[in-house]
Amino acid sequence: MCKFLLYGAVLLNLAKKSTKKHLKAKKIGHTAHNIERGIEMTERQLIQEILNTVDVIYNFVNTDDDKKEYEIVINRQDGDHRPLENVNKEIKHYFTDADFSYDEELNDNGDDIHVQVKR
């Protein structure tokens, strides 16, 4: 878990240095070989990395890559007993550090968290 938190922290530091269109990544974690070749990370990929770091199940419901607006349904994994408020707080922290707006509804229609993020 510590490894994932460090990975997430590095990604967030990189996000702060991103241009409007893409995130130029530096050598981090298991993606080092791609990054060394100059592969760029899109907004959507950054969102996926954040959610994977928090270790949740997610589904993009509505997306507009041109406007950089994303509606996401987030669920805890089976056996995840973390309080929902703590999971939401951690996710929100990562998104706000990466300069995303974060508007959430907890326990929306049977889903754990319903989120709208925008950059």
Mean pLDDT value of segment 43-56: 94
- Give the confidence band of 42 by pLDDT, cuts at 50, 70, 90: confident
Write the pLDDT tens digit of every residue in 5-33. Answer: 445 555 555 454 443 333 333 323 444 44
Write the DSSP assignment of the chain as a string of letters: -HHHHHHHHHHHHHHHT--SS-EE--S-GGGHHHHHTT-EE-HHHHHHHHHHHHT-EEEEEEEETTTTEEEEEEEPPTT--S-HHHHHHHHHHHHHHTT-EEEEEET-TT-SEEEEEE-
Q: How much is the pTM?
A: 0.65
